[in-house]
Amino acid sequence: MFKRSFRSQDRVEKSAKLAKKSNTARDPQKISKLQQSLEDTLPVKKNLNSPIVTLTVGREGRLFAAHEEVLCQSPFFQQACRDQYLEPQSKRISLPDQEPEVFSAVLEYLYKGDYYPRLLHNKHRNSWELEGASRSPDPSNDNTAGARGAVEATMYVPSVGQHLLRDTVVYCAADKFGLEELKRLSLRKQGLQSGIDVGTILRSAQYAYDNTPDTDSRLRAHYLALIIRCRKTFKRSGTMQAEMERGGKLFFDLFVAMCNHLDDVVELSNARTPKTV
């Protein structure tokens, strides 16, 4: 069930976002500029004739614009387009609980099939890596899991007031919007990150538990497997001790996962050891 590794893009410039100003969402001239900006920055010119949808995202109401046809790849937005719109020429969706930076990644994925940093295939190594990845381990830091330099691994999430793993937040947004392939992509990208400190991993794991259903069997399992595999690092961590004392569903699941792991080890050991009478 658990992945054995914590290894699991043209960037959408936030050209369709504006700082919140008075009456911004109602200003036809600003909306028109958003639409033109969107057309100018498309990575591949497509024959998209569907209406432009304006989205206000986050607490500050940052503006984005997207083609309805593109948005409707998501069941969430397909439902929104069907149920919420009254005026064909003024399609708007409000997403006050979403982080603009994360929504930018989601929108980039909907247009391009990936988000920055892109997942690239290294032909020489015959392996996958993140765009711009650098191998810069810090062997003196025992409070990190992994050894390769992270590429924009974290982002500040205002709603929780902490830096979290970016791909975890993208995964949770993808789950909300019903984008299964984006969930797989973000999980794979997160698996390629390393050198992440224990505190960031634990905060991100808690965020994952708070923002995914109990039926989620991928992102949650990913964190449990990581903690088990890097247990020598985590058991020395004061942050880990403090979080465990605070408790939560994450740590019961971790206990169950550790028991399962131990059972597997014992079973394997018994299979290799001749039985004696």
Contacts of 227 (CB under 8 A, 6+ apart): 201, 205, 234, 254
Most confident among 11-20, 29-38, 43-52, 109-118 (mean pLDDT) = 109-118
When pLDDT is averaged across residues 148-173 and rounded to a whole number, the result is: 87
When pLDDT is averaged across residues 246-273 and rounded to a whole number, the result is: 81
- Residue of 132 and 168 predicted with greater confidence: 168
Most confident among 203-212, 229-238, 251-260 (mean pLDDT) = 203-212
164: three-class secondary structure by DSSP: strand
pLDDT bracket for residue 221 (50, 70, 90):
very high
Alpha-carbon span 132 to 151, nearest angstrom: 7
Q: Is the backbone peptide bond immediately before 75 cis, with ω within 30 degrees of 0?
A: no
Say if residue 12's pLDDT is above 70. Answer: no
Residue 29: the pLDDT is 59
Residues of the chain with CATH 3.30.710.10: 24-112
Residue 203: the pLDDT is 95
Residue 4: the pLDDT is 40
Residue 8: the pLDDT is 39
Say if residue 15's pLDDT is above 50. Answer: no
pTM: predicted TM-score of the whole model, two decimal places: 0.72
DSSP string, 51-120: PEEEEEETTTTEEEEEEHHHHTTSHHHHHHHHHS---TTS-EEEETTS-HHHHHHHHHHHHHS--SSPEE
- Residue of 162 and 16 predicted with greater confidence: 162
Q: What is the mean pLDDT of the chain?
A: 79
When pLDDT is averaged across residues 30-34 and rounded to a whole number, the result is: 53
pLDDT bracket for residue 88 (50, 70, 90):
low
- Residue percentage of the chain with pLDDT more than 90: 45
pLDDT bracket for residue 30 (50, 70, 90):
low
When pLDDT is averaged across residues 226-255 and rounded to a whole number, the result is: 86
Say if residue 191's pLDDT is above 80. Answer: yes
Task: Tell me the fold of 24-112.
Answer: Potassium Channel Kv1.1; Chain A (3.30.710)
Hey, what are 178's tokens?
């019903």
Alpha-carbon span 253 to 224, nearest angstrom: 8
- Residue percentage of the chain with pLDDT more than 70: 72
pLDDT bracket for residue 84 (50, 70, 90):
low
